Amino acid sequence: MQRVVALDIGTVRIGVAVSDPLGSFAQGLTVLSAKGDWLSELEKITVCYGSPEILVGLPRRTNGTEGPEAERMRVIADEIKGRFPELKVTLWDERFTTTIAQRTLLEADVSRAGRKKKVDEIAAVLLLQSYLDSRRAASF
């Protein structure tokens, strides 16, 4: 089965998570800077994980509609498709992943500085695990 690399893309940082080879579990990988050439870093990740599927978080409003930030993610997904035409790029609803990640880190008593470093990576893990669980449920 093909691995999946998830991206929780913000304006400052990009959380990255990767699935296990069987597509059952998500694990945090890294946090990239959204400033500069982060696509080159993504290219290294795709090579390392053997041309995985790329999952891009799509922020929706609580009522399910899309706003300007969702449109920005669609543009970024198209950029990724243009740079890596051989990879499947999927958009996936990321509602509340950052909020849940922040709450989880607060409950774990992680310092403010520690939360800032890890929240995007944890949000990417939550995004990816949601996708993997959905895909697994659909196959039954």
At 39-74, the pLDDT tens digits run 999 999 999 999 889 999 999 888 888 889 999 999
pLDDT of 41: 97
State the number of CA atoms in the 13 A half-sphere of 71 facing the CB.
2
> How many whole angstroms separate alpha carbon 77 and alpha carbon 46?
15
pLDDT value at residue 20: 96
Taking residues 80-105, report their average pLDDT: 86
Q: What is the pLDDT of residues 108-123, one digit of tens each?
A: 777 777 767 778 898 9
Q: Are strands 89-93 and 13-19 parallel, antiparallel or unpaired?
A: unpaired
Indicate if the pLDDT at residue 134 is higher than 80. yes
Spell out the domains of the chain, with CATH numbers in brackets. 4-138 (3.30.420.140)
Give the pLDDT score at 47: 95
Taking the C-alpha atoms of residue 97 and residue 100, their distance in angstroms, rounded to an integer, is: 5
